[in-house]
Structure 1
Amino acid sequence: MPEVPSKAPDLSRKRGAESGPLPEHGPERKKACWGILTSQGSWADRSPLHEAASQGRLLALRTLLAQGYHANIVTIDHVTPLHEACLSDHVACVRALIHAGANVNAATIDGVTPLYNCSSSGSVSCMKLLLQNGAHTHTPHTHLPSALHEACKRGHSQCVELLLSSGADPDYEVSHLGSPLYMSCLHQHTACSQILLHRGASVSVGRGSDSPLHAAVRQDSADQVSVLLDYGADVNLRDGNNQRPVELAPPGGKTQQLLLAYEVSPRSLCQLCRLLIRNLIGRSRLKLLPLLPLPPLLTHYLQDP
């Protein structure tokens, strides 16, 4: 095995806990994903293979693999070259590493997988490669990071769609985060919420007693609130402080007006029938609706609000 250089770069790839939108390019994107832990020196054993994967240098990566570098070489934080390639959206490097035997389900000391990094960066192409080669959509422990939650947090709707199409549970709960729908409402990503609900996510499952509707109202996101109501959200649920969603809405705002109007207007018979039929069909069979011998208008009615 070639000697690994001892010089450590300036940043750490250890996962950070900070939220918010990712910068579009360069080192700032990786800082936002992983956080800064320079004092721990967690890149001290970072290999040239990690560098090549991170920078998308395919020829260098292939050369290093041919020279004897192992595809699953890890840093002190158990970050693999595949983690790096996925975080930086380098599809060719991901393909080469998988071909060389990289573990698609490798986890860092924080439980971060390459699939999670695809969700962080919004890399649909890398995610497809991982899933085609056996990547698990969820970890076996509910306290570890979930790729679906990360995609909902970042607003990467295509990643959400792909994960759900590959068998991810739309109601999968992470103990400290709640449901994926709760995350998308908390971070105001309406497109992700629509996909989750269309795929059968429970409109009431949030984080503890805090429902997705509570989260959407706190963000004063009228679009989110409207979508949740269309899918049958209960306006009478109370959070941990015994408050209903309307009590959390900013006074005089659009969200409050929407909730007040909804409370005094009964749901249409059309909406009630649609929600009941969807519940009877069950989440696992909703994807089969287009296969039923039904008129297109009726299929559309059952699929979308």
Structure 2
Amino acid sequence: TFPPLYMFKPSQSGNSIYYRSPLHEAASQGRLLALHTLLNQGYPANIVTIDHVTPLHEACLSGHVACVRALINAGANVNAATIDGVTPLFNSCAAGSSVCVELLLQNGANPRTTHAHHPSALHEACKRGSRECVESLLSRGVDPDYEVPHLGSALYISCLHKHCGCSQVLLHRGANVNRGRGEDTPLHAAVANDSAEQISLLLDFGADINRRDSNNLRPVELAPPGGKAQHLLRAHNVSPRSLCELCRIHIRNLLGRSRLKFLQQLPLPSLLTQYLEHT
């Protein structure tokens, strides 16, 4: 049996409690039957802890899709934020649950971060390496170049954590290949990790190998001696780009990020379209 609702001390709003409720526990553990029972007993779907954590936050953080759906159907606020600005969408990205992400977005979750210093769902998805979550967010209009002041761009985060799949999605969607954190570029992050796959991808999209970071160092100067990164950068430095590559970079820049999706509609041979799309 569950303790009656009156045992939880409410705030003036009538919905806040000062410790986790049984509804929070059921959502966190994915206990769907218990969740339904508690909701039927009168527990509010938007009951919150002192930190403003809702049961929906808990269900999303654990990736329990059925509980997420049940809470939304019971009226849970899909845009509820904790005192730190964490939303259910952010927690779904932290869990790497693209199904939860899609469910929230379909029910009105705001894919964009509402404050520059609040946690970014896109950055969290890139940090965790969830390509599917990144694709879902970008398809709903999230800016692939969105920056968090202390973290930098989403591309920088995906390179920092060696998630090439996320980097690929961002770049295909028009992310600026040279935008990182301050003076540090995504290429600096990839080179420091000696990540050959990331480096090749960034170079393919036109990364500047001569950019200097906050310590006035070029990417090659960060490369581990004798490593793959050093070899790739040196080879790239002595091999001029082909005219085809330079034209592709220039055409994509001229089109701009918002119009890249119209490449398929241009009267071009399919092979040329695929080349411009990096497919």
Q: Identify whether the pair has TM-score above 0.5, normalized to the shorter chain.
A: yes
TM-score (norm 1): 0.85
Aligned to 1:218: 192
Aligned to 2:241: 267
Q: Is the 8 A contact 1:179 1:207 kept in 2?
A: yes
Q: Is the 8 A contact 1:54 1:84 kept in 2?
A: yes
Counterparts of 1:70 and 1:286 in 2: how far apart (Å)? 45
1:122 corresponds to 2:125: no
Q: Is the 8 A contact 1:4 1:48 kept in 2?
A: no
Counterpart of 1:81 in structure 2: which amino acid?
P
Aligned to 1:63: 37
Q: Is the 8 A contact 2:113 2:121 kept in 1?
A: no
Measured after TM superposition, the shift of residue 286 of structure 1 is 1.1
Measured after TM superposition, the shift of residue 44 of structure 1 is 5.4
Q: 1:79-107 CA deviation, whole Å, 9 max, x = no partner?
A: 10000111111111111111111111111
1:284 corresponds to 2:251: no
Aligned to 1:2: 5
Match of 2:137 among 163, 167, 185: 163
Counterparts of 1:73 and 1:4 in 2: how far apart (Å)? 13
Counterparts of 2:205 and 2:176 in 1: how far apart (Å)? 9
- 1:1-80 counterparts in 2 under 5 A? 2-4=5-7, 45-80=19-54
Measured after TM superposition, the shift of residue 202 of structure 1 is 0.2
Aligned to 1:241: 215
Measured after TM superposition, the shift of residue 4 of structure 1 is 4.5
TM-score (norm 2): 0.93
SS at match of 1:223: helix
Compared CA separation, residues 4 and 116, structure 1 to 2 (3 A): farther
Q: CA RMSD in A?
A: 1.5
Measured after TM superposition, the shift of residue 302 of structure 1 is 0.9
* Identity, % of aligned positions: 72
Counterpart of 1:241 in structure 2: which amino acid?
N
In the alignment, structure 2 segments of 5+ residues that lack a partner are: 10-16
SS at match of 1:252: coil
User: How many residues are paired up?
Assistant: 269
- 1:133-212 counterparts in 2 under 5 A? 133-212=107-186
Aligned to 1:81: 55
Counterparts of 2:226 and 2:235 in 1: how far apart (Å)? 12
Counterparts of 2:238 and 2:66 in 1: how far apart (Å)? 56
SS at match of 1:149: helix
Q: 1:263-283 CA deviation, whole Å, 9 max, x = no partner?
A: 111111110111111111110
In the alignment, structure 1 segments of 5+ residues that lack a partner are: 7-42
Q: Is the 8 A contact 1:171 1:205 kept in 2?
A: yes
Counterpart of 1:267 in structure 2: which amino acid?
R
Match of 1:100 among 64, 74, 79: 74
Measured after TM superposition, the shift of residue 166 of structure 1 is 1.2
